Chains A and B, each alone.
Chain A
Amino acid sequence: MDGFPIFLRKELRESVRTNRLLVAVVVFAILGIISPLTAKYTPELLKLVGTSSDGATIILPTPTVKDAITQFIKNVAGTGIFVAVLLPMGLVAREKERGTAAFVLTKPLSRPAFLTAKLVSLGLTLTAGVAIGALATYWYTALLFTPTEVGGFIAASLLVLLSLLVYASFTFLGSTLVSAQLPAAGIGLAGWIVVSLLGIFPNIEQYTPAGLLDPASQLALGLTPQHLWVSIGASVALLVVILLLAWLSFRGQELVTNA
């Protein structure tokens, strides 16, 4: 792993200086804040709208902690996954496209170190985003409803993070396969769509990264989810396979010196 610490430091600085980290943190912070707010105030907003034109009254149940958590998971499953899929599109592809991969890989920097540093940087960026989002959700949920159990909420956040990492890995694979950002993003989106289509089948969903989100909700609410370890195992296995494919694609790849 020649050059790994030096290149990881460069990746982290790049993540900060190109605002990649900022975008991830802001998006997840917004998701974290609006989720409990939406759960709390949507019924009240609807009440303000008043009765329907035919005089019927809309009766909505009183919102609970469960609604806030469910809303957060839903938001992560939508916007959050979209961000996770788009975030890594240029990680490798842009370096290949511009010729900077050829520049650094003719130095004492091994290809495993190059890819691993990028993965760690991606993982840390997503972790920071999910942590801020989860913290915001926890804080606002405690303010607007009642505090949830911390351990369960942390476990739920870790499951959400694992799910996002699997989706991000599709784009990471795409980024190693092609030398342009948009096709890399296309591969990531295709992976997301395929996994989402598989999730339609009830017996298969638990083996997909989407299958981690229900157990996450249940853990956050202090419940014991079914198929928790099966879902974790399947997602970790999928993540490992995708990253292995990314390595196989990149290890012998010929690199261009410039665009």
Chain B
Amino acid sequence: METAVSCRSLTKRYGDVLALDALTLDVPAGAVFGILGPNGAGKTTLLRLLTGLAHPTAGEATVAGLSVTAQAPAVHRHISFLDQSPQYYSWMRGRELITFVGELFGLRGADLRTRVDEALALTGLTDAANRRIGGYSGGMRQRLGLAQALVNRPEVLFLDEPASALDPAGRHEILAAIAGLRSTATVCMSTHILADVERICDTVAILNKGRLLVSAPVAELQERYAQPAFELELDTGQGATAEQLVAALRAAPWVGDVTRQGDMVRVIAIDTAAAGHEILPLVAAHGAQLQRFERIRPDLEDIFLRLTAGPTSTPEKVQAS
């Protein structure tokens, strides 16, 4: 698979602080790639290095096949960057800023006007386009930031907390716009909001204290960290049937433990495959009526907390395939 961003032993040190520790990472072209980590994990440092705003202490990185250190001006023609708290020229109007950015990318005339209108419409800023940026709210500035980042139709888009200042409706719109870029651009997005990542990212990297803990597709991570557990939600008013079902489950050789809380039954399996095949026939045999049956899959928050929880967490390097 083609790689849009590649880091090899990328290291950044600020005095005694090791902000990024020999990071090796590949971002597949066309992916919406989430960069996760607690505060101080190195997410912003990584984006600063990849956009040429900071220089690596060691290692190297390429974006769109170009070295970010040796070919920074060429890299800038292929990327866009949205800062987490964007500040723009307050004396400019919204449309003026997007036009200015488009002109820096060499756009002119009708093409420029079309792109500017598209970017403003996509980010919901058409009505505010002729207002001074100085009067924009934080959320509007973030939308403007995304609009300026999209006007050049970048190959690689770097977003640092792109939806942090938005209300739920605004977040939904902006995330939909970012998700819509899949396949036409590579998006590298750092964020604290794991629900956002789960919603739109297909691949993630989790960083902690400057080190890469894991990098893999979200589905692969969920599979990898899935517990051998199943959850059954029974229809209400089946007390006796539920008791019989629980007893039958406990007697099954592929079950490790069964717990019941009201209508909810949780089964920890010894043999996950056998449990997956046998639970439903057992439910049917006891005449129990189900509302829901699912294998418990960890959400990204569970995985994130397990990987970043304290000194016991061990680095797991699963490269994105």
Contacts and interface: CB of A to CB of B under 8 A. Distances in A.
A221 interface: no
A10 interface: yes
A257 B91 contact: no
Contacts of A254: 48, 53-55
Contact of A258 (B54, B77, B87, B91): B87
Contacts, number: 72
Given A2-B73, A18-B91, A104 B84 contact: no
A99 B87 contact: yes
Contacts of B73: 2, 108, 110
A259 B87 CA distance: 9
Interface in B124-160: 160
Interface in A87-107: 98-100, 102-107
B160 A257 contact: yes
A6 B83 contact: no
Nearest to A7: B104
A123 interface: no
B53 A252 contact: no
B52 interface: yes
Contacts of A10: 89, 100
B83 A105 contact: no
Contact of B104 (A104, A252, A257): A104
Contacts of A252: 55
A102 B84 CA distance: 12
Interface in B81-128: 81, 83-89, 91, 100-101, 103-106
B103 A258 contact: no
Contacts of A107: 76, 101, 104-105
B55 A103 contact: no
Nearest to B48: A257
B84 A258 contact: yes
A3 interface: yes
A106 B81 contact: yes
Contacts of A108: 73, 76-77, 104-106
B208 interface: no
A103 B87 CA distance: 8
Contacts of B91: 14, 17-18
Interface residues of A, number: 27
Nearest to A254: B54
Interface in A203-259: 252, 254-259
A109 interface: yes
Nearest to A2: B73
A10 to B, nearest CB: 6
Instruction: Assign chain B's interface to a size class.
Output: 20 to 34
Contacts of A3: 104
Nearest to B152: A107
B83 A102 contact: yes
A255 B47 CA distance: 12
B44 interface: yes
Contacts of B80: 106
Contacts of A259: 87
A258 B86 contact: yes
A2 B72 CA distance: 12
Contact of A103 (B44, B54, B86, B103): B86
Interface string A101-127: 011111111100000000000000000
B31 interface: no
B284 to A, nearest CB: 59
B104 A6 contact: yes
Contacts of B51: 106
B144 to A, nearest CB: 11
A105 B85 contact: no
Given A108-B73, A110-B73, A257 B83 contact: yes
Contacts of A258: 83-87
B15 to A, nearest CB: 13
B89 to A, nearest CB: 6
A117 to B, nearest CB: 12
Interface in A1-57: 2-3, 6-7, 10, 14, 17-18
Nearest to B83: A257
Nearest to A97: B87
Contacts of A14: 89, 91
Given A17-B91, A103-B86, A106-B81, A6 B53 contact: no
Given A99-B86, A106-B52, A106-B53, 20 more contacts: A6-B103, A6-B104, A7-B104, A10-B89, A10-B100, A14-B89, A99-B83, A100-B87, A103-B86, A105-B53, A105-B76, A106-B76, A108-B73, A108-B77, A109-B76, A254-B53, A257-B53, A257-B85, A258-B83, A258-B85
The 10 closest A-B pairs by CB, nearest first: A257-B83, A107-B104, A106-B81, A17-B91, A98-B87, A258-B85, A254-B54, A6-B103, A106-B51, A99-B87
Interface of A: 2-3, 6-7, 10, 14, 17-18, 98-100, 102-110, 252, 254-259
20 contacts: A7-B104, A17-B91, A99-B85, A100-B87, A103-B87, A105-B52, A106-B79, A107-B76, A107-B104, A108-B77, A108-B104, A108-B105, A108-B106, A252-B55, A256-B53, A257-B44, A257-B85, A257-B160, A258-B84, A259-B87
